[in-house]
Chains A and B, each alone.
Chain A
């Protein structure tokens, strides 16, 4: 396990620029989406109209899922989550490729492969780094900035949204 910890630290160090840039970028995007939605659809009636329109289209429902109400929080989530989630997915994909495939192809994996740690140690470290709690939270961070409910924006924590903006 000590090998995993060492590898985790060195991988985090390798990504000390790239990873914060991704996380802050996605968080900023969440922030921007929340801001845009809040100004564009300030009225409950406007929000109801756009949600009604979207729900009527099967293609929209397929990509975005079902809306969670007509509050600002629900609309921001409905409009922005699938996009930010795809970005977060890309970030994780690139992260894993960087630390596995690229290392193998360039022969760096051999250096680590010759030391007495389990074969899966490096991958384990990468998955821990990729699963670090800050990362799935990053879109939520942007939404939160607008003091919106995070209901649903963190997978697994979904609950009915608070229907008003403080």
Chain B
């Protein structure tokens, strides 16, 4: 259906308005075959709206969306043939059991791979016999994940799939993404957690207010690799003068800044000498990235 170089997902100048709200504002998104593509943005940026457009669940106000070269709005049956989808907020029918829902969803896609289904239920430590009304958010998420992974697909659309999963299940989920990716499938993973995308994805598109602000490989987007420092009781002026320190924020005696990986060693020495009383080092949050990289001086997105 598609040649090797043709993108699996090709969205151009997508606009979706809900009344006066502009959920998508000329969004461009291209995902090549075999990619694990991170779709990164804060809450309300338009990630789920984009996925719904790509599934043909809603029609874009303008612009074109193509999945496997097909228009998902006009031809949902063919466009969905090789697609597995995990919605962001899984809601199930309360009086059906988890197993019944898994069988319904995989059955509608053409039937599950029995061995895969059993393995997934084991790995996710999921009890398919209980009624859906007794499931927690994490368990409902597992139903959608098992249903998505229990039948091989060529494209997986995952909308914040690890929300509600504990760290152990999260690692099971990541293993499954790596497995389908090794099988040659394309994955579009939406998330608002940078570290999750970093672990799984080769390419990333960053979206804000319905617009793609940046797209590229993780290596190209170097600022995603920054380390975030939060110090107490340090002299801000001293630290700000160091090479590689950027985005300095001071609040009382608390100093926050980001450091490029290449400049970590001298900054650490300076921090050790600064006589600090508290230290938190973490990967940058998406919010701080947006503040430091994707907004101009007025706080407006570029």
Interface-centre pick from B76, B93, B104, B144 (highest chain A CB count, 10 A): B93
Q: How far is the CB of B185 from chain A (nearest CB, A)?
A: 16
Q: Which residues of A contact B84 (CB under 8 A)?
A: 114
- For residues 27 through 68 of chain A, which have their beta carbon under 8 Å from a beta carbon of chain B? none
Task: For A110, list chain B residues within 8 Å (CB).
Answer: 52, 55, 57, 85, 87
A3 interface contact, C-beta 8 A: yes
Q: Is A115 part of the contact surface with B, judged by Cβ < 8 Å?
A: yes
Whether B55 contacts A116 by the Cβ 8 Å rule is: no
Q: From residue A129, how far is it (CB to closest CB) to chain B in Å?
A: 14
Please measure, in the bound complex, the distance between the C-alpha atom of A107 and the C-alpha atom of B300, giving whole angstroms. 32
Interface size of A by CB at 8 A reads: 20
Task: Check: B80 CB closer than 8 A to any chain A CB.
Answer: yes
Question: Scoring B residues 129 to 162 as 1 if CB is less than 8 Å from chain A, else 0, what string do you get?
Answer: 0000000000000001001000000000100000
Query: With a CB–CB cut-off of 8 A, which chain B residues contact A113?
Result: 55-57, 76
Task: Report the contact-size class of chain B (Cβ under 8 Å from the partner).
Answer: 20 to 34
Q: Mark A122-140, 1 if CB is under 8 A from B, else 0.
A: 0000000000000000000
- Given contacts A10-B100, A107-B87, whether A116 and B57 have CB atoms under 8 Å apart is no
CB distance from A76 to the nearest CB of B (A): 36
Whole-angstrom distance from the CB of B97 to the nearest CB of chain A?
10
Q: Quick one: CB contact mask for A1-22 with B, threshold 8 Å, 1 for yes?
A: 0010011001001100100000
For A10, the chain B residues whose CB sits under 8 A away are 96, 100, 104
Residues of A within 8 A of B108 (CB): 3, 6-7, 112, 115-117
| A118 interfacial contact with B, CB 8 Å | yes
Secondary structure dominating the interface of A:
helix
Residue A108 CB within 8 A of the other chain: yes
| Set of chain B residues within 8 Å of A13, measured between Cβ atoms | 96, 100
Residues A111 and B96 in contact, CB atoms below 8 Å apart: no
Is A118 in contact with B57, judged by CB distance below 8 angstroms? no
Find out whether the CB atom of A116 lies under 8 angstroms from the CB atom of B77: yes
Interface status of B43 (Cβ within 8 A of chain A)? no
Q: Is B105 an interface residue, CB under 8 A from the partner?
A: yes
Instruction: Tell me the A residues contacting B by CB distance below 8 Å.
Output: 3, 6-7, 10, 13-14, 17, 106-108, 110-119
Contacts A111-B101, A111-B144, A116-B110 aside, 10 further interface pairs with beta carbons under 8 A come to A6-B108, A106-B91, A107-B89, A108-B92, A111-B147, A113-B55, A114-B85, A115-B109, A116-B76, A116-B108
